[in-house]
Chains A and B, each alone.
Chain A
Amino acid sequence: MDVVEEHDIQDKHTKKKTKKPKKQPKPPHENGNDSMIEKTEPEHVDAPAEFSFPPTFSVSEIKNKQRRHLMFMKLKQEKRKAPPKEVPKTIENQRVYDETTVNPEDEEVAFDEGTDEFSAYFNRLTNPKVLITTSDRPRGRTVRFCNQLATVIPDAHVYYRRGLALKKVIPQCIARGFTYLMVINEDRKVPNGMVLCHLPDGPTAHFKVSSVRLRKEMKRRGKDPTEHSPEVILNNFTTRLGHSMGRLFAALFPHDPQFVGRQVATFHNQRDFIFFRFHRYIFKNEKRVGIQELGPRFTLKLRSLQKGTFDSKFGEYEWVLKRHENDVCRRRFNL
């Protein structure tokens, strides 16, 4: 046993001893001796200021004690620093790049916009005049929604449908000088679709309407909107399709917003859902603004965009929502 103990002691000693000669990257402040067997690499002779060390290099391999110390202190400092804040991945960050994204200086887009159906509006030749109607036999909620929409959009008129065919309504509207026809489709007493048709031959957009909140149901809302023309905010309409949508919405409102009214209508696109909000704002100082939500709110999702006026059978569709396209990749959006 004694022999064993001796052996053990001897082993311990040898272990201790053998620790030293082993090539282990130990912090030099423990064994600040040159007796450590180290690999000599010619590169570490370079000044530590040049950070071009090979990746398998470690601090303890520098032979020069002072330089090694310096490098080690730097290493410690870096470790003590907080790790850089990582940018979280969001769907917007990871969005698949859409090749139809509009570049602001794109000439082709500018040319197209100069000659498309909205050019008349943007060149201030026409003033918007909107006709709002519903599908057959609207229920109370839809009727109220139409009325509230009419207060939000200046120069909007609500008419009852009474079973008229849209194709026959359209020429009458054009004759009376309307620029927009908005049809709110109803299902199970709740509005669920909207057809927005730009009149003298303009594109027709068909939306799915969801989350309709009427004025009564809004929390902390303000008084009714006044007759002033609101400003328009269009957010996040990046692709070509989004661009044309943006113009479609912009042309609903008169050109010159009356800033006295301090009202703003917002169309915000996020992940292909267009959120509509209507607020009254007030500037508290140049850094803070307070907003108070007035009118109705709803969300739209574009289902199809058709080139001419409303014609479901023979119309030429510019774009149709195909569900399977977006099922493939969750990061791909159209607007």
Chain B
Amino acid sequence: MQHDDVIWDVIGNRAFCSFKVKTKVQNFCRNEYNITGLCNRSSCPLANSQYATIREEKGQCFLYMKVIERAAFPARMWEKVKLSKNYEKALEQIDQNLIYWPRFIRHKCKQRFTKITQYLIRIRKLTLKRQRKLVPLSRKVEAREKRKEEKALIAAQLDNAIEKELLERLKQGTYGDIYNFPIHAFDKALEHQDEESETDSEEEEEEDDEDVGKKEFVAEDEIEESDLNHSHFDRVEEDESEEEMEEEPEASGSKGKMPLKGAVFRKKRAYVEIEYEQEMEPVPKSKAT
């Protein structure tokens, strides 16, 4: 016979119930047909012969009912009623099926049904959103990769590689005329030119010297007049050879071409002192005149 009180007395209070979970504050019931989840006299499915629950399977809600008439037939004990997907209609169904049942069970069934529908809605919403997939990292693998990366970095010699690449591009002329560094071949050609121009200039100097010398012999007056006009020309013969050297840098300065200047610079590097000496001399003389 079903003696609910006796059953409750035994399992609820005194002896062991395998579904009971004891915590410090409260007792829970792990029975799958329990309506509230707590271990109470009114919530225990074992200690109540007339009982009802709502359970959910794969998004479908069912109302389970147990009556004392079927207590002897465990296979047929629970009556399963499929509830409508419409929330209001389902509530009406619960009401219809549980008419004349104790208030507590009706109320709790409806509460449970509401909660279930709410979480089903949430599941549907979440599946539409982006699902973040967590990929586990293996510590060993990560450490291995890190080591490999360090070694690869050392092997890469990035700075050297970048510098090499940039110099290659400069050589190939991708930068056009922005940078005025003459390339090797151009350099050599320049050096050839320098040698030629040096020899030429020497010849010119000699020629000019001769010319100047000739002018001297021909007309000294002209030189005096030019002295008044130009501060560059000197009466003294010794300076004339140096004049030519002076004129050259001025002439090249007027032309304004960089490579020539470079050539002159290269030539003049050995002769810097002489330049300064030359420049010193005419200045005081011009002041004098």
> What does the 1/0 interface line of A293-333 toward B look like (CB < 8 Å)?
00000010100000000000000000000010000000000
Q: Which of B15-62 contact A (CB under 8 A)?
A: none
Instruction: Give B144 Cβ to nearest chain A Cβ, in Å.
Output: 9
Q: Does A151 contact B (CB under 8 A)?
A: no
Q: Does B143 contact A (CB under 8 A)?
A: no
* Residue numbers in B under 8 Å from A260 (CB-CB): 178
B155 and A270 contact, CB distance less than 8 A? yes
> What does the 1/0 interface line of A230-258 toward B look like (CB < 8 Å)?
01010100000000000000000000000
Q: Does A108 contact B (CB under 8 A)?
A: no
CB contact under 8 A between A235 and B165, given known A165-B130, A283-B181: yes
Interface of B is mostly: helix
| One of B146-154, B211-219, B237-245, B253-261 at the interface | B146-154
Q: Which of B54-97 contact A (CB under 8 A)?
A: none
B149 and A210 contact, CB distance less than 8 A? yes
Q: Does A279 contact B (CB under 8 A)?
A: yes
Instruction: Give A65 Cβ to nearest chain B Cβ, in Å.
Output: 53
Instruction: Give B163 Cβ to nearest chain A Cβ, in Å.
Output: 5
Rounded to whole angstroms, the CA-CA distance of A264 and B159 in the bound complex is 12
Rounded to whole angstroms, the CA-CA distance of A92 and B151 in the bound complex is 12
* Residue numbers in B under 8 Å from A92 (CB-CB): 155
CB contact under 8 A between A266 and B181, given known A286-B170, A299-B149: no
* Residue numbers in A under 8 Å from B175 (CB-CB): 259
Rounded to whole angstroms, the CA-CA distance of A271 and B152 in the bound complex is 6
CB contact under 8 A between A281 and B166, given known A259-B178, A270-B152: yes
Q: Does A198 contact B (CB under 8 A)?
A: no
A286 and B181 contact, CB distance less than 8 A? yes
> What does the 1/0 interface line of B130-172 toward A look like (CB < 8 Å)?
1000000000010001101101110110110111011101110
Rounded to whole angstroms, the CA-CA distance of A289 and B169 in the bound complex is 12
A268 and B181 contact, CB distance less than 8 A? no
Instruction: Give B207 Cβ to nearest chain A Cβ, in Å.
Output: 37
B158 and A268 contact, CB distance less than 8 A? yes
Rounded to whole angstroms, the CA-CA distance of A41 and B51 in the bound complex is 116
CB contact under 8 A between A91 and B155, given known A259-B175, A289-B163, A289-B166: yes
- Report the interface size class on chain B: 20 to 34
Q: Does B179 contact A (CB under 8 A)?
A: yes
B182 and A286 contact, CB distance less than 8 A? yes
Rounded to whole angstroms, the CA-CA distance of A18 and B165 in the bound complex is 70
Nearest opposing residue in chain A for B134, CB measure: A187
Q: Does B7 contact A (CB under 8 A)?
A: no
* Residue numbers in B under 8 Å from A287 (CB-CB): 167
Q: Does B287 contact A (CB under 8 A)?
A: no
A291 and B159 contact, CB distance less than 8 A? yes
Rounded to whole angstroms, the CA-CA distance of A92 and B171 in the bound complex is 27
Q: Does A121 contact B (CB under 8 A)?
A: no
Q: Does B129 contact A (CB under 8 A)?
A: yes
Per a CB cutoff under 8 Å, which of A166, A259, A270, A323 touches B156? A270
A271 and B159 contact, CB distance less than 8 A? no
B148 and A235 contact, CB distance less than 8 A? no
Q: Does B183 contact A (CB under 8 A)?
A: yes
Q: Does A90 contact B (CB under 8 A)?
A: yes
A273 and B148 contact, CB distance less than 8 A? yes
* Residue numbers in A under 8 Å from B167 (CB-CB): 286-287, 289
B161 and A285 contact, CB distance less than 8 A? no
Q: Does A211 contact B (CB under 8 A)?
A: yes
Instruction: Give A279 Cβ to nearest chain B Cβ, in Å.
Output: 6
* Residue numbers in A under 8 Å from B158 (CB-CB): 266, 268, 275, 277
Rounded to whole angstroms, the CA-CA distance of A275 and B159 in the bound complex is 12
Instruction: Give A55 Cβ to nearest chain B Cβ, in Å.
Output: 39
B179 and A283 contact, CB distance less than 8 A? yes
A233 and B162 contact, CB distance less than 8 A? yes
A273 and B162 contact, CB distance less than 8 A? no
Rounded to whole angstroms, the CA-CA distance of A189 and B184 in the bound complex is 52
Q: Which of A68-91 contact B (CB under 8 A)?
A: 90-91
B162 and A277 contact, CB distance less than 8 A? yes
Per a CB cutoff under 8 Å, which of B149, B162, B170, B181 touches A291? B162
Rounded to whole angstroms, the CA-CA distance of A166 and B129 in the bound complex is 11
Rounded to whole angstroms, the CA-CA distance of A305 and B159 in the bound complex is 29
* Residue numbers in B under 8 Å from A270 (CB-CB): 152-153, 155-156
Q: Which of B145, B156, B165 is most buried by chain A, counting CB atoms within 10 A of its CB? A: B156
Q: Which of B130, B151, B158, B183 is most buried by chain A, counting CB atoms within 10 A of its CB? A: B158
Nearest opposing residue in chain A for B138, CB measure: A323
Rounded to whole angstroms, the CA-CA distance of A48 and B226 in the bound complex is 83
Q: Which of B107-139 contact A (CB under 8 A)?
A: 129-130
Instruction: Give A54 Cβ to nearest chain B Cβ, in Å.
Output: 44
Report, nearest first, the 5 A-B pairs whose CB atoms are least far apart.
Answer: A286-B181, A270-B156, A271-B152, A270-B152, A273-B152
Q: List 27 A-B contacts (CB under 8 A).
A: A163-B129, A165-B130, A166-B130, A210-B145, A235-B161, A259-B176, A259-B178, A264-B162, A264-B166, A266-B162, A266-B165, A268-B158, A270-B156, A271-B155, A272-B152, A273-B149, A273-B152, A273-B153, A283-B179, A286-B170, A286-B179, A289-B163, A289-B170, A291-B163, A299-B153, A301-B145, A301-B149
Binding site for B on A (CB under 8 A): 90-92, 163, 165-166, 208, 210-211, 231, 233, 235, 259-260, 264, 266, 268, 270-273, 275, 277, 279, 281, 283, 285-287, 289, 291, 299, 301, 323
Not counting A211-B149, A273-B152, a sample of 6 additional A-B residue pairs whose C-beta atoms are within 8 angstroms of each other reads A163-B130, A231-B169, A270-B152, A270-B155, A273-B149, A283-B166
